[in-house]
């Protein structure tokens, strides 16, 4: 039995619990929330025995084997340090750090502690993306030449995303971590990224943030392959998650939020449609099992099994650091209007 301490009781924590709902051999024994009442309500909803507003109480809990971090970006480093100091295996949501400096400290902390560490990047645990990668690995599309990924919606759901100091960046950091890891996943982690060219600007949300609400990134790999990322906080019509993989012998497309198995026209509905849905009238595209489609079931199952077997996960803090390094370089490219080398990778 893998006993879990959950840090966070909000949006991502809810998806984590949905992902864990069908994973055998685990139990969430404690949950931390910055608001004690919210933590208690979350614990009641998910039948978690203990709730607290003291993060240390979870890290120091002898009943906890694995800590799951579902907190705002500014708290990731503190949470990882606590987990490592108490010799707990740890999984952190994306992005690993607000920047590469924080991510590097997090990786060093878990390596010194000798604990297992997982990077909860749902994008590469989505069943559609896993199946697409299987086709790539079979050689079905030949050598991968380009990977074009898009993640877009009309803007974040919580105030901390809009604060550059708290979050570390805007749409590029918030969603580029997904698309950049998709490129690494499809092109191959054994192929080194070598340089980045990026653009970003604030088109719409100037009253809410000084961060970019739109960005485009070109990521060139040493074998000539190219990853293309399109990120937006100004795309109306709910969440848009797409990947296009082009190879020498074929192509693959994944679209988990627009090409859904359900299409309906409704006058109105009081039910939840999907993440970042802007309307519950007219044409709607509800997902049958949102958490599973995004990859939460697969990633939670993988992380729990890795802890049970004491094996390092396939997505680790090293991957999170690589993504942070690439995003830092992309921000430098935006500032300096040029290609930026990734010599540190």
The residue out of 122, 154, 173 marking a domain boundary is 122
Same domain, residue pair 83 and 72: yes
Average pLDDT on 255-267 reads 81
Q: Residue 253 sits in a domain of what CATH number?
A: 3.30.360.10
Region of residue 4 (left: phi > 0; alpha: psi -120 to 50; beta: else): beta
Q: Please report which confidence band the pLDDT of residue 185 belongs to, taking 50, 70 and 90 as the band edges.
A: very high
Same domain, residue pair 11 and 90: yes
3-state secondary structure of 132: helix
| Contact yes or no for 162/173 (Cβ under 8 A) | no
Judge whether residue 213 has pLDDT over 90. Answer: yes
Instruction: Name the residue range of residue 52's domain.
Output: 2-122
Residue 122 confidence (pLDDT):
97
Same domain, residue pair 28 and 140: no
Same domain, residue pair 75 and 216: no
Is 308 within the bounds of a domain? no
Average pLDDT on 49-66 reads 98
Average pLDDT on 43-60 reads 98
Bridge partner residues of 4 (DSSP): 28, 66
Residue 265 confidence (pLDDT):
79
For the stretch 280-337, pLDDT in tens is 778 777 778 889 999 999 999 999 999 999 999 999 999 999 999 999 999 999 999 9
Based on the structure, what is the number of domains in the chain? 2
Query: Would you state the structure tokens that stand for residue 212, as one six-digit string?
Result: 């970019």
Residue 171 confidence (pLDDT):
98
Same domain, residue pair 141 and 234: yes
Same domain, residue pair 240 and 138: yes
Same domain, residue pair 29 and 159: no
Is 319 within the bounds of a domain? no
Q: Over the chain, what is the mean pLDDT?
A: 95
Same domain, residue pair 11 and 93: yes
Average pLDDT on 97-119 reads 98
Is 301 within the bounds of a domain? no
Average pLDDT on 137-158 reads 96
The strand ranges marked E within the chain are 2-7, 26-32, 50-52, 66-69, 89-93, 117-120, 144-152, 193-201, 214-221, 226-232, 240-247, 251-255, 264-266, 282-284, 340-341
Same domain, residue pair 132 and 99: no
Same domain, residue pair 136 and 110: no
The residue out of 80, 100, 122 marking a domain boundary is 122
Same domain, residue pair 162 and 68: no
Q: Residue 94 sits in a domain of what CATH number?
A: 3.40.50.720
Query: Would you state the structure tokens that stand for residue 265, as one six-digit string?
Result: 């026209």
- Total Cβ atoms within 10 A of residue 45: 11
Residue 275 confidence (pLDDT):
67
Residue 327 confidence (pLDDT):
98
């Amino acid at each position: 039995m893998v006993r879990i301490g959950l840090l966070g009781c909000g949006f991502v924590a809810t998806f984590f619990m949905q992902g864990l709902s069908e994973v055998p051999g685990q139990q969430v024994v404690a949950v931390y929330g910055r608001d004690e009442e919210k933590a208690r309500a979350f614990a009641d909803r998910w039948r978690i025995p203990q709730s607290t507003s003291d993060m240390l109480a979870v890290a120091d809990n002898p009943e906890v084997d694995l800590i799951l971090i579902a907190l705002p970006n500014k708290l990731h480093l503190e949470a990882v340090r606590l987990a490592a100091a108490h010799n707990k295996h740890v999984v952190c949501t994306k992005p690993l750090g607000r920047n590469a400096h924080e991510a590097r400290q997090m990786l060093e902390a878990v390596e010194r502690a000798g604990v297992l560490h997982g990077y909860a990047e749902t994008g590469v645990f989505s069943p559609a993306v896993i199946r697409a990668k299987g086709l790539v690995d079979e050689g079905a599309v030949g050598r991968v030449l380009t990977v074009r990924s898009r993640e877009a919606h009309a803007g974040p759901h919580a105030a901390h995303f809009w604060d550059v100091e708290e979050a570390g960046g805007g749409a590029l950091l918030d969603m580029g971590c997904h698309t950049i890891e998709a490129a690494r996943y499809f092109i191959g982690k054994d192929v080194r990224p070598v340089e980045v060219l990026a653009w970003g600007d604030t088109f719409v949300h100037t009253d809410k943030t000084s961060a970019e609400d739109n960005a485009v990134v070109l990521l060139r790999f040493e074998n000539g392959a190219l990853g293309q990322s399109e990120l937006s906080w100004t795309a109306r019509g709910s969440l848009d998650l797409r990947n296009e993989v082009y190879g020498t012998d074929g192509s693959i497309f994944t679209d988990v939020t627009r090409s859904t198995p359900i299409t309906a026209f409704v006058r109105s509905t009081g039910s939840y449609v999907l993440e970042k849905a802007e309307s519950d009238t007219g044409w709607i595209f509800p997902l049958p099992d949102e958490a599973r489609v995004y990859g939460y079931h697969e990633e939670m199952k993988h992380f729990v099994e890795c802890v049970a077997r004491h094996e390092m996960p396939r997505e680790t803090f090293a991957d999170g650091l690589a993504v942070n390094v690439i995003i830092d370089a992309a921000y430098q490219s935006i500032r300096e209007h040029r290609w930026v080398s990734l010599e540190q990778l």
